[in-house]
Amino acid sequence: MSRFWSNTVKTLQPYVPGEQPRISGLIKLNTNENPYPPSPAVHAAIAAANDAALRLYPDSQASALREGIARYYHLTPAQVFVGNGSDEVLGLAFLALLKHEAPLLFPDVSYSFYPVYCGLYGIAYRTVALTADFRIAVDDYRQPCGAIIFPNPNAPTGGLLPLAEIEDLLQAQPDVPVVIDEAYIDFGGDSAVALIDRYPNLLVVQTLSKSRSLAGLRVGLALGHPQLIEALERVKNSFNSYVLDRPAQAGALAAFEDDAYFRQCRDAVINSRERLNAGLRERGFSVLPSAANFVLVTHSQYDAVWLAAKLRERAIVVRHLAQPRIAQYLRISIGTGVECDALLQALDTIL
C-alpha cells in the first residue's frame, strides 16, 4: 500500500476538528456556533428553494446573493465572493493569492487551519509571536513576506485589533495581500470592509456560521478589490465543485435581509459573554479580553484538560486546543444565558 502514499501526503497534518456530538442533551460550547436559531426568514427562503427549484442547477455566480451582500456593505457585486463556508473561501484565497517564494505571516496563536492549508498547498509560512498578553503587534508584520493573514478578533484568543492599526499595516505593506479573517467581527469589532475602497491589497473574509447562526448551511464570503475577487473566481472556476447550492444561496440572502433579528441575537450573545466573564472571574479564572463569541480562560489551580473532562462528565463540552502557548487554557463558546448559568453551576461542583 505504501506506494500509494506520496511523501507530500505523509507530511500533511490534517486539521483536528472540534467534537460534533450526536447525543442531544449536551451543552455544546466547543465550536463557537450561535446558540440561537437562524432568522425565521431563512427557513422560509430555504423551504422555497427546496421546492421545484431544486430540480435545477444553482446559479454558479450566486448573483442574487452577491448583489444582496453588496447592498448590505455598500459595495459592488464585483467586490463580493461567496463560498461554502469561510474555510472554503480561505482555501481558495490561499491558492489564489498566497503562492509566493516569500513566507506567509500569521500569529503563533491563531486559527489552526492556516498551517494546514500551507502544508496542503506547499506555501512557506512564518509565525509571528503574540505579545506576552496575547495581542497582535502589527509592527512585527512590517517585514518582507509574501502575504499576511490573521483573524480579527483573533481566534482562539478573542483579542481585537483596532481598525487604525490594520490601516497602518496596509500602508506599511502596500504590495502584499493582507487577509483579515473576520469570522467573529460582528460580536464586538469594526469591520475592515470600511477600508476596501482605499486598499486594493485588502481581502476581508467573513462567515454566516457565527453571528448569523448558519454553521450548518456552509456560507462564507470575501470582500475586496475586484481584482482580488477575480483571482478567487478564477481559482474557483478551475474546479466545478465550489458552487453554493440553491438552499444555501437563498438562505444566506434571507439572513442578510433580516438585520433586526441579526442585531437581536448578536446583542444577546454579547450580554451573555459579559455575564459569563464576570462569573468566571469570580471563580478564579483569568479571562482574556474577548470581542468574539467565545472566551479563552485559564485557572491558576486547576489543569485545563482535567477541567474539560470534569465538565464533559456534567454534559458540558468546551474546547482544549493543542497549541503550546495555550496548553493551560480552555476556549468556551458563548451559549444562551441559561447555558452560561449551567456552566457556572457545574464549575461550582468541580472547583
Q: Is 220 exposed, middle or buried (0-12, 13-18, 19+ CB in 10 A)?
A: buried
86 contacts ligand PMP (rule: CB under 6 A)? yes
- 110 or 277, CB closer to ligand PMP? 110
- Widest Cα–Cα separation across the chain: 59
**Cell numbers found for residue 48:** 422555497
Amino acid at 71: R
The single residue among 181, 244, 252, 319 that binds ligand PMP, judged by CB under 6 A, is: 181
Look up residue 7 and give its amino acid: N
Neighbours of 266 (CB within 10 A): 20
Question: Which of helix, strand or coil describes residue 110?
Answer: coil
Nearer to ligand PMP, 93 or 347 (CB): 93
- Residues 5-34 binding ligand PMP (CB under 6 A) are none
Q: How many CB atoms lie within 10 A of CB 225?
A: 18
Number of residues written out for the chain: 351
Residue 165's nearest CA partner among 200, 121, 195 is 195
186 is a site residue for ligand PMP (CB under 6 A)? no
Site for ligand PMP in 94-123 (CB under 6 A): 111
Which CB, 160 or 347, lies closer to ligand PMP? 160
Q: Judged by CB under 6 A, how many residues of this single chain contact ligand PMP? A: 12
Question: Within 201-230, which residues bind ligand PMP (CB under 6 A)?
Answer: 207, 209, 215, 220
Closer of 183 and 231 to ligand PMP (Cβ) = 183
Distance (Å, whole) CA 123 – CA 104? 7
Of 60-68, 85-93, 186-194, 235-243, the segment contacting ligand PMP by CB under 6 A is 85-93
Q: Provide the grid cell at 334.
A: 458563548
**213/211 Cα distance (integer angstroms):** 6
* Segment contacting ligand PMP by CB under 6 A, of 1-9, 84-92, 170-178, 325-333: 84-92
Give least dist CB 313 to ligand PMP, A.
25
d(Cα 77, Cα 70) in Å, to the nearest integer? 5
Q: At its nearest, how many Å lie between ligand PMP and the CB of residue 216?
A: 9
Residue 155 contacts ligand PMP per CB under 6 A? yes
Return the range that interacts with ligand PMP (CB under 6 A); candidates 80-88, 131-139, 273-281, 316-324.
Answer: 80-88
When the beta carbons of 111 and 141 are compared against ligand PMP, the nearer one is: 111
d(CA 246, CA 231): 24
Chain residues in the site for ligand PMP (CB under 6 A): 85-87, 111, 151, 155, 181, 183, 207, 209, 215, 220
